[in-house]
Structure 1
């Protein structure tokens, strides 16, 4: 009887895939054959996911065989099917595998591109295995390039491997983190992660690697005994698992310790053993370091013949490494050429199909062009009209915003300064010969503030300062700033008001009148009353804008200081002015001389209280007022000037 043919179904395809996976290490050729059978069967029974995994298996085997172009072709075919099936786990898997091919070929840019995309999709699906492999691969790519970003990916991969209970991956990642920190000179963190590596699996290659790393750390710090102990542990584990690379590194580490201790004979013995393993493994990079150290050790003991021999070996292996690098570059060129050639073959196979499709599309396009053209004309007309409406609306909004911005700027700066800032981007400081400066201050503010809540205090101040703003706007004055409970304004900065001193005094009297009325309301409500002092002086100032991010217009000079002294030496409910102000307004206001006050850099200054405005100052004979004689108002009030 003949052998019964197996039933072709998804279960049998999966069985073949498992068989291919099992054979991949021991018999790659047979593994590839089984994977091809799985692919063909999956296609016959319309099992696309099975076909995709079969192509993946074919890629894995050919990659191990060093056939990178074929491996890439199989991976990309597999990826295409996974994309068509919207299988994100498969997509992430294949992107990572494609990235590893490019990494092997030294194309770090493309390797990173595929691995990063794999990581993004794996994180979306929560596929921890793919997240782990992608993070570890990205970290390795950066680590090989000595890029500091490597540590970030290794540190993300480590907890994932721990959560999955994957001790092998945990050990490899931990030792890579240790090496990264060692390269950066961060000995403490390097030691921490080396310890984590051998604790994860004390009988693995990563444990041996970790002990060698710890040995290097102790050598760096001068603890030769601990350095030897750790290299000995690495030697014991690597012999147990037959890892000749770590054996060679352990021997080289022991030799380095003895060299540092100037025990060159012992050092040479270990270098000789490391050299034999290195030559067996063709570990040329390690051998280069061994040869140069042996040449140095022999020269230290006066054996110049051997010193010259190993110096020559060092020079030869440098040439070998250069040739290897050149060969690698040529291999990369060949890889690119083969890849281009493969793509050309694919293009030739699909050319006829594309031509046929193009003809069908041309005919379809010809039938639909007229209808589409009419629709497009309607759409274009609609878009033009809509854009016109949007543009008109946008311009209206921009005009409104421009006015708002200009008004906001004028709230902060005088018109002339604001215009200069908008035009030139900066404001030039200016000197003014005569500017009137007014200061106010609430008497006993601290004591009153302690009896009020913060909200009530700010509300009271805001009410008063808004009233002050309205009064100075009424008289065309310029608000400078508020400082705590003090309010400061100026007049005469615009140069357009010849009566600015008079207007300043009028504003001062009106502010005192407002506070008087305000206190009447407070008393009727049983609230605390406010008492305000107010002082005015006129004289030269410098004005300008300070600050970069928040413009602040301010004025400076003795005039400002004297105005402040007028306020602080005034009395609640009164407008206290200096002699400079009095000389300007004495014919228009009834004033009361209060005596003198000393001002630094100026001397004694006469002070006057403004009592009230003279109803019609033009009717008064001012010829007798040269020596501050009594001013006679039409109301009959007689005050001593």
Structure 2
């Protein structure tokens, strides 16, 4: 920062641009995406002001790298890479060409545009031909591409070549990534024992490097692989590790800050263009005024009169419509508020300006989450992913409304609702159980259509707990109705330790519903500040036909659970 002040005092624009890029790189490697993007956008702005092409190319590529880190901003990354690539080719900067094209290839691969991905990877191989440190990255990406295309022989060859090259330069991160890819080939071929062994090697390396993003993928893969072998203890262990690492990686506030920085940058560029146009227009008007005659002035006066008449007429029309528009606006505001807050809370806010928090002695809480959503997100286009998720959530909304439950919120692919609030309901626990079973039935029916269409089915986990909570409205902007307490935390644990396609309940729920529903005892989990909690799977009413559910390697007929 001291060096930057020196460059600024000397008005050395090129030095400022280069130094801002270096500061951005420092924050990027520290994992501070907001500061990295801020400094790189400042570097781009200065490089563009002096038309310094190497600085522009470097800044564009580096901004793309910040956006490349998150799935939601991949399109922005692609836009910056496409702007940087022609400049890098003009400058014959092979290192930047290799980095840009391999990242572009990975974006195209996630969009399932496999031919474009292959073309980009080929360009990267050519650019990195004499770069032994970076070329393993390309072979790893080629392995990912062939794995998605189910070409396991080619994928295994790519990963093994990447592994050999990475070992030659002792590049530990690439060694870990190549091992992870190789294990995924064996997992997809059904050889889970071999896959787990290689995944564990990759885990050791990535733990030493503290490579959080790599560990997230490994924990997800290991949880699935152990589950396939029937080793549910290890499957649950890695599922818990995955949950912990997701919490540390996902930061909504960072996403908002990145979006705001980009918006401010774009707005400033637009304002500069407007200022330039305004300046040109002023010069033209000055020249025109010198040439104006009396007749031209009269035309201007007549034009002003026409404009004035038009304004008066429009004002008259607007006044006649004002009451209708206000009524419509008030109705729309009322509808939006009732979609965000319960009716009672909305009424209290409107009449008093605030809503007091309330304690509830018994509330049922449900969490629902799709297993493997991160992997699903990589396979589907953003539009297809959001459309499918919206389809499920709209169906869930209809189901909980039918059973008199209150939707609390959605977070990513997680859905949360509660029963017995804000109005007490003696049947809330039975209503929430019925709703959970209907949600699983909807997912099963939808999965049948998915399979028939050759698509990957979605797997839903549901967890339910019951107990005391505190409920209220937080914030003074963008009101949100929420609930808190250990009851909520335990419900979340029930979901994260649940089984796809089943409803996992705590012992507190079991004691209330055991006379109406057949359950299967699953074991205990440890809950912070609570101790061991028994878990049960609940599937049907006692007066309906028994079904069979998976417990470990066996299929067990449901019976009323007993303690």
Task: State the TM-score, normalizing by the size of structure 2.
Answer: 0.43
Task: State the TM-score, normalizing by the size of structure 1.
Answer: 0.38
Higher gyration radius (CA): 1
